[in-house]
Amino acid sequence: MPAGEHDVLATGYILRNIPYTLGVGPIENAYSDGRLVLLRRASLPDVCVVCGSPAWGNVYHREFTPYSYPAWHVPLLWDVVYSIIGKRYLFDFPFCSTCEPGDFDIHPVRINNDFAVFSGASGTLLKSLPSLPPDLEAEIEGSWLQRVLRWFLF
pTM of the model: 0.72
CA pair distance 43, 91, nearest whole angstrom: 10
Asked if 116 and 38 touch (Cβ cutoff 8 Å), the reply is: yes
Binned at pLDDT 50, 70 and 90, residue 41 comes out as: confident
CA pair distance 18, 29, nearest whole angstrom: 16
**115-142 pLDDT, tens per residue?**
899 999 999 999 999 999 988 887 787 6
